[in-house]
Structure 1
Amino acid sequence: MAISLLADHVYSSVTDIDPQTLADAGIRLLLADLDNTLVPYGVLEPEPSVREWNQGLRTAGVTLFLLSNSRKPGRPETFAQKLDIPWIGHAGKPKAGGFVRAMERMGCTPEETAIVGDQIFTDILGGNNAGVTTLLVEPIRLAGNPGRYVRYAVEWPFRALARQRSRR
């Protein structure tokens, strides 16, 4: 199996992803990374815009599901509860296991599932490994961890290629 680091679609933020467009494409389950995708690192409350977007997903028949690699005790669970969505922490992305567990739990196939995240080497690679539609967003905030700057610099060429592909 070929390894792909390119996302199917690229957006500035999660709220730029139209819920009805997902539903029209047959997506019933949207897996979402937490940190720097839904909120900045360390933020405990969903922004009103994310709450409204989640409601739009529900209205369109798409379930938002938190799929996080966070190892902070209780962080994914607490955040997911505030949005009233299912979750898996310690997901082990980019391995496909967390993706498969989420799809099995929600009764969805890879063709009915998408992942949205800010990192190519976890979210996008993992989604491609699991055979789901991959949606890349720009990280919300890089400040606070020098390692993030390095990681995103390494990802830059793949982001640029995915942006080009997404425009087609």
Structure 2
Amino acid sequence: MKNFKSFLMKWPKLGIKEKRYRLPRRIHRLAEIKIDKIKICGVKGIVLDLDNTIISEDDRYLSPCAEDWITQAKLAGLQFFILSNGKRRYRVKYWSHRLDIPALSPAKKPFPPAFRQAIAHMRLPAKHILVIGDSLHTDFVGALLCGCAYIQVAALPHPPRWWEKFAGKWVQIPYPSGGELWNFDDAAGYESFL
């Protein structure tokens, strides 16, 4: 009788075990993130960083297949919001228009108000939001403070700022040498957003 009771207690656990997917912590390119896998994890909205995640700060490189990946993610029902600490607002407006994603700049990441604004805009609970960016000290800390999941992408090649020369290796993943990069040749399009 004792064995039968223990069998009954285990009964709901018997059957097909569902494989759980965990979000990767780090990736090299935005387009490497599997859309179906993040949806399995309950992600319904994505807060994206702009500088060195989608486009390099100096406007030389575009993350390979990033625009196609964003389009596919939208078709899969995911919502987006861009948070950028960049001071060149015309650049953020250009990318917001080009990608058809609402944006906020300067976002003053990692402080929570901008993240909260993005979350409120998407009308989703924080547990269903994924933050994707290149910097631990801005994107990751902001996600952590707001209760969102986070994936770090390798920073696109760019001229390092003063702090990156000292602390960059602790807060950013360097882009793999020899990794595919797309040149960005449409900086002239910024003029209509000045």
Q: 2:133 aligns with which of 94, 117, 120?
A: 117
Displacement, 1:48?
A: 6.6
Q: Percent identity of the aligned residues?
A: 22
* CA shift for structure 1 position 147: 3.2
Unmatched segments (≥5 aa) in structure 2: 1-22, 174-194
Secondary structure of the 1:74 match is: helix
Larger radius of gyration: 2
In structure 2, the partner of 1:15 is 31
* Whole-angstrom distance in 1 between the partners of 2:112 and 2:53: 19
For residues 11 and 29 of structure 1, the distance between their equivalents in structure 2, rounded to whole angstroms, comes to 19
Contact 1:99-1:127 at 8 Å conserved across structures: yes
**In the aligned structure 1, how far is the partner of 2:133 from the partner of 2:167?**
14
2:76 is aligned with 1:66: no
- 1:69–1:93: 8 Å Cα contact kept in structure 2? yes
Matched residue of 2:80: which SS?
strand
Distance 1:52 1:128 in 2: 28
Per the TM alignment, residue 51 of structure 1 is displaced from its structure 2 partner at its CA by 1.4
Could you say which structure has the greater relative contact order, defined with CA pairs below 8 angstroms and 6 or more residues apart? 1
**What's the counterpart of residue 87 of structure 1?**
103
3-state DSSP class of the match of 1:94? coil
Secondary structure class of the residue paired with 1:143: coil
CA distance in 2, matches of 1:110, 1:65: 13
CA displacement 1:110-164 (0-9 Å, x = unmatched): 01101001001000011101100011111111435343232312337xx7xxxxx
Supply the distance in 1 between the matched residues of 2:95 and 2:60 (Cα, whole angstroms): 6
**TM-score, L = length of structure 2:** 0.71
Instruction: Name the CA distance, whole Å, in 2 between partners of 1:154 and 1:45.
Output: 23
Q: Show the 5 A alignment for 1:133-144.
A: 133-144=149-160
Q: Distance in 2 between matches of 1:9 and 1:74?
A: 31
CA RMSD of aligned residues (A): 2.2
Which amino acid in structure 2 is aligned with residue 138 of structure 1?
Answer: A
Question: SS where residue 61 of structure 1 aligns?
Answer: coil
The residue aligned with 1:33 is 49
Aligned to 1:97: 113
The answer to whether the Cα contact below 8 Å between 1:15 and 1:50 also exists between their aligned partners in 2 is yes
CA deviation after TM superposition for structure 1 residue 54, in Å:
0.6
Equivalent residue in structure 2 for 1:57, among 64, 68, 73 = 73
Give distance in 2, aligned partners of 1:102 and 1:146.
Answer: 29
Are the aligned partners of 1:46 and 1:79 in contact in 2 as well (CA < 8 Å)? no
Q: Distance in 2 between matches of 1:113 and 1:59?
A: 17
**Cα offset, 1:76, TM superposition:** 1.1
